[in-house]
């Protein structure tokens, strides 16, 4: 098995190397990650400017690649030929901060996984519900075990796994649950300021997002000390609503 | 009805004003669009830098707002209080270039609609399967008619409409079809160059995307001269696959 490892916190993020080292136990790996943090960057495809893809040496002496592009750019560049062969699996993470519910639309960690799936390669996104660096040994070895499951069972086309770890020490994690995406509640606030020339400018500020902890959701699981695994598919068509729309009898002219 | 109009081609894009003027016939409108083009920008939330939100005058003399942020930032800023009241509908477009199948993950036009839906406001994304400026009168008046349908019938929570116009003169459009997202096929190619200092850099180049024109898909519809309307929902959970995953019996430690 050949695994492409990436993230959205950047090549120097503390969770990247433990993840790579755990995956090294089950596969050959190549790290190709952004050269800086891309949190909440969504899913860009960088076409309006050129990208770098430079060799870097990780703290354990292993060779990796780093790009000026976003997480999905790293995956795209890799698959377009920057790395020598096609990976069997893409693993993205471990992100500092959870990616639950609607977060999947903003998350660069998830975007890297989505880019893999669009290109026909199974993918797993891993995030941790904490912004503080912790001991990643437990989550990383779990990630490797789940990657092995995916290698053994396969994933249907058009699908990836979105995994979130709770913000508790690994020995206190209660178990693994298979979940659905929950309802994120954002608590953004507008911060208005005035620049030295008298012109207004704005920050999107506020508190970290909350969520509705309904049973069965990723939000409930992570808030209650469980690892959540949500299978996510890329076909967002609202199939059932097509019949309603047909009844609207929308005229062209 | 109060409609927030935005796009990802920027405030000066030729399709924005015709869309706004058509919507003026059925509602009060406010235009709040990026100050430059954000094609293929995905769904960022700009939190690491401040944003502008400046008044601008459109070519017809109407007042609008323009932001240094991405399309979803325009929607977020508007809803956080930059505009005086909460819109009833968000209309994004008309994009130059179609947004079919997997394009919904990259599209800034779609991201603006998604940002509306995440905030509980129904939304419609409009795109045109051509990169050339055309007569937007027909598509714009269709957009207003569809907006009126949405006002009359409502949309379920968590859902928006993704509309694509074919690249033919309006009088040659064959009809309206309710579709599902098709399978986009990207034809990106790596373009490798060397900078004046001898360092390699890369472009994501290649041809515009194709697609599999299966019956019932947006890709088929637009390629065959129909307006496609795909209902898209934001819950990407692969519900049926949860049982398969449970059978994998994934152990925590």
How close does chain B come to A201, measured CA to CA in Å?
5
Contact status, residue A19 vs residue A95, Cβ threshold 8 Å:
no
pLDDT for the residue numbered B80: 97
Chain B partners within 8 Å of A235 (Cβ): 180-181
**CA B32 remoteness from chain centre:** 14
Question: In the prediction, which pLDDT does B39 show?
Answer: 87
Residue of B nearest to A241 (CA): B231
Structure tokens at B218: 């947006």
Torsion angle in degrees (nearest 10) through CA of A150, A154, A159, A161: -10
What pairs with residue B65 in β-bridges? B32, B55
- Determine the residue of chain A that is closest to B232 in CA distance: A237
Residues of B in contact with A180 (CB under 8 A): 235, 237, 239, 242
Q: What is the CATH number of domain B2-184+212-248?
A: 3.40.1210.10
Mutation pick from B68, B221, B238 vs chain A, by most beta carbons of A within 10 Å, is B238
Low-confidence ranges of chain B (pLDDT < 50): none
Distances, alpha carbon B155 to alpha carbons A248, B3, B103, B161, B162, in Å: 12, 15, 22, 9, 13
Alpha carbons within 13 A on the beta-carbon side of B172: 9
Write the pLDDT tens digit of every residue in B164-216. 999 999 999 999 999 999 999 999 999 999 999 999 999 999 999 999 999 99
Contact A250 B190 (CB under 8 A): no
Inter-chain CB proximity B76 and A242 less than 8 Å: no
Give the nearest partner residue to A45 out of B40, B44, B178, using CB atoms: B40
Question: Between A51, A81, A252, which is nearest B173 by CB?
Answer: A252
Q: Are A127 and A57 in contact (CB under 8 A)?
A: no
User: Closest-CA residue in chain A for B235?
Assistant: A181
How many whole angstroms from its chain centre is CA B43? 10
CB < 8 Å to B34, chain A: none
Q: How far apart are CA B218 and CA A135, in angstroms?
A: 47
- What ipTM, to 2 d.p.? 0.95
Nearest CA in chain A to B207: A47
The pLDDT score that the predictor gives to residue A133 is 79
Q: Cβ separation of B45 and A50 shorter than 8 Å?
A: no
3-state SS record for chain B = CEEEEECCCCCCCCCHHHHHHHHCCCCEEEEEEECCCCCCCCCCCCCCCCECEEEEECCCCCEEEEECCCHHHHHHHHHHHHCCCCCCEEEEEEEECCCCCCHHHHCHHHHHHHHHHHCCCCEEEEEECCCCCCCCHHHHHHHHHHHHHHHHHCCCCCEEEEEEECCCCHHHCCEEEECECCEEEEEEEEEEEECCCCCEEEEEEEEEEEEECCCCEHHHHHHCCEEEEEEEECCCECCCHHHHHHHHCCCCC
Angle at A150 between CA A155 and CA A3, to 5 degrees: 110
CATH architecture entry for A2-183+212-247? 3-Layer(aba) Sandwich (3.40)
- What was the pLDDT predicted at A77? 97
d(CA B178, CA B181): 10
Q: Which residues in chain A are closer than 8 Å to B231, comparing Cβ atoms? A: 237-238, 241-242, 245
Query: What's the pTM value of the predicted model, to 2 decimals?
Result: 0.97
> Closest Cα partner for B188 from A81, A107, A153, A184?
A81
Helical residues (DSSP H) of chain A, grouped into ranges: 16-23, 71-77, 103-106, 108-118, 137-153, 218-223, 241-247
- Identify the residue among B105, B168, B229 best suited for mutation to test binding to A, counting A beta carbons within 10 A and taking the highest: B105
pLDDT of amino acid B134: 87
How far the first Cα of chain A sits from its last, in Å, is 55
B30 Cβ neighbours under 8 A, 6+ residues apart: B2, B3, B4, B5, B64, B65, B78, B83, B87
Digits of tens for pLDDT over chain A (253 positions)? 999 999 999 999 999 999 999 999 999 999 999 999 998 889 999 988 999 999 999 999 999 999 999 999 999 999 999 999 999 999 999 999 999 999 999 999 999 999 999 999 999 999 999 988 789 999 999 999 999 999 999 999 999 999 999 999 999 999 999 999 999 999 999 999 999 999 999 999 999 999 999 999 999 999 999 999 999 999 999 999 999 999 999 999 9
Which of A49, A76, A105 would you mutate first to test chain B, the one with the most B CBs within 10 A? A105
Domain ranges of chain A: 2-183+212-247
């Amino acid at each position: 098995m050949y695994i492409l490892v990436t993230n959205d916190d950047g090549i120097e993020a503390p969770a990247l190397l433990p993840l790579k080292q755990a995956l090294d136990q089950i596969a050959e790996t190549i790290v190709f990650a952004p050269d800086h943090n891309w949190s909440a960057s969504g899913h860009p495809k960088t076409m309006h400017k050129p990208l770098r893809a430079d060799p870097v040496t990780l703290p354990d002496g292993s060779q990796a690649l780093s790009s000026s592009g976003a997480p999905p750019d790293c995956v795209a560049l890799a698959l377009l030929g920057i790395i020598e062969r096609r990976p069997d699996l893409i693993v993205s993470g471990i992100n500092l901060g959870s990616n639950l519910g609607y977060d999947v639309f903003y998350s660069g960690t998830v975007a890297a996984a989505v880019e893999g799936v669009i290109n026909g390669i199974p993918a797993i996104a891993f995030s941790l519900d904490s912004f503080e660096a912790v001991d990643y040994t437990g989550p990383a070895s779990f990630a490797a075990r789940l990657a092995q499951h995916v290698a053994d069972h396969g994933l249907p086309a058009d699908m990836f796994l979105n995994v979130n770890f709770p913000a508790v020490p690994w020995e206190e994690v209660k178990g693994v649950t298979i979940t659905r995406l929950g309802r994120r509640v954002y608590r953004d606030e507008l911060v208005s300021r005035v620049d030295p020339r008298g012109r207004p400018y704005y920050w999107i500020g506020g508190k970290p997002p909350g969520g509705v902890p309904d049973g069965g959701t990723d939000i409930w699981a992570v808030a209650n000390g469980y690892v959540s695994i949500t299978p996510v598919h890329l076909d967002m068509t609202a199939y059932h609503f097509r019949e309603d729309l047909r009844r609207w009898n929308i005229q062209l002219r």
